Amino acid sequence: MRKYVLIFSALALVVLFNACNTKKSKENNLSVEQSLYLGQKPPGLKPEPFAPGIVTTEGWEYCGGFTPDLKEFYYLREIGETKEDKKTEFVVIQNKDNQWKKTVISLRVGTPFISPDGKIMYLGKRYKERLDNGNWSEIKKLGFPFDSLPIMRLTASSKGTYFFDEFKSDFTGDIRYSRIVNGEREEPKLLSKKINGGKSFHPFIASDESYLIFDGKREGGYGDSDIYISFRTKDGSWGDAINLGDIVNTGAWEASATVTPDGKYLFFNRNMGSDNYENVDIFWVSTQIIEKLRPKQ
C-alpha cells in the first residue's frame, strides 16, 4: 500500500511542478509582450489612453507610432505654459537593454510615419533614411511633385505606394496616392469620392494595401472629425467608407489613426480639451474592431 502512496505522491508532485512551470511560462510571456509597448498592459475592445504619465498627459500629444521591431516609439508633444512659450517637440522613446528611455529629437519637423521595412521615416513631403549605424540621416525632400503639395501626412505600403493628404486653405482636403510603376514613381492620383468627401485627412494605408484608414467630418458622423476605414474589394477598387463607430468616435475630434507594425493595435488621437486643442491624447485599442468591420469575401 505504501508503495502506491509513494507513486501517487510522486505523480502529484510532477503535475504540480508542470502546472507551476506553465503558469510561470505564461507570466513570462505576458511580461515579454507587455515590455513591447513601453511596459503597458494591452487594451481590449475599449480604447484606453496610451502610457498615462509617460506619453499621455493633460497636455497635447499627437501621432504616435512604433518602428517594425517595436523598440522605438515616436510622437509629437506640445510644451510651454503660455501661447507665446508653446512649441511642439519631436520625441522618441527607445528600448535599450530592456529599459525605455525618452529623448527629445528636435522641434517638430513634420508628421512622422515609419515605412513597413523600417528604413524610411516619412515627414510629410520630407523624409529621413535609416543608416547602417542605426541612426537617421539628415532630412531630405521627396522632390517633384510632392515638394509643391500641401501634404500633412504621408504613409506608404510595403509596395512603396504613397497615400497622402492635401490640406487646403479653406480647411478642406483630399487624399491621393502614387504607385511605383515599372520602377518609376507615378504622378499622384485622386482617390474616388468614396474616400474624398470634402474633408479627408491623415491617411494610413495597411502594409498589404488591404484597407485605408482616414478621418474627416461627414454626414451621419458623431460630431467633429471621425475615423473611417475603406477596404479593398476583389476588383481592386475601394469600398465605401465605414465609420469606426462609437467604440472609437465621439462628439470630439478623433483623427490620425495608425496600426502597430504587428497588426494588433490601432492608435489614434482624441481631443480631450476645448476647441483650442490644448489637451489631445493618444489612445489605443485592439484591431479586432477592424476585423469586425471587414466585409466577408
Q: Nearest Cα to 63, choosing from 117, 119, 118, 124?
A: 124
- Which pLDDT does position 171 carry in this prediction? 79
Q: What is the dihedral of CA 260, 75, 212, 228, to 10 degrees?
A: 110
**Separation between Cα atoms, residue 32 and residue 165, nearest integer Å:** 37
The total number of structural domains in the chain stands at 1
Asked whether residue 6 is assigned to any structural domain, the reply reads no
Query: Reading across the β-sheet that carries 48-49, which strands appear in turn?
Result: 48-49, 280-286, 265-271, 254-259
| Below-50 pLDDT ranges, the chain | 1-31
The amino acid sitting at 2 is: R
Predicted TM-score of the model (pTM): 0.88
Asked whether residue 148 is assigned to any structural domain, the reply reads yes
Asked whether residue 235 is assigned to any structural domain, the reply reads yes
The parent domain of residue 254 ranges over 111-291
- Which pLDDT does position 14 carry in this prediction? 41
Asked whether residue 79 is assigned to any structural domain, the reply reads no
Asked whether residue 217 is assigned to any structural domain, the reply reads yes
Query: Reading across the β-sheet that carries 151-156, which strands appear in turn?
Result: 151-156, 162-167, 173-178, 189-190
- Cα 188 to Cα 47, 161, 200: the distances in Å are 34, 10, 16
CATH classification at residue 189: 2.120.10.30
- DSSP secondary structure of 263-296: S-EEEEEEE-S-TT---EEEEEEETHHHHTTSPP
H and E: helices and strands count for the chain: 2, 22
**Separation between Cα atoms, residue 179 and residue 182, nearest integer Å:** 10
Asked whether residue 213 is assigned to any structural domain, the reply reads yes
C-alpha cell at 120: 524610411
Asked whether residue 14 is assigned to any structural domain, the reply reads no
- In sequence order, which residues have a C-beta less than 8 Å from that of residue 6 and are 6 or more positions away? none
Asked whether residue 211 is assigned to any structural domain, the reply reads yes
Residue with cell 521595412: 117
- Which pLDDT does position 34 carry in this prediction? 63
**Separation between Cα atoms, residue 282 and residue 267, nearest integer Å:** 7
Q: Nearest Cα to 284, choosing from 231, 115, 245, 264?
A: 264
**Separation between Cα atoms, residue 130 and residue 119, nearest integer Å:** 5
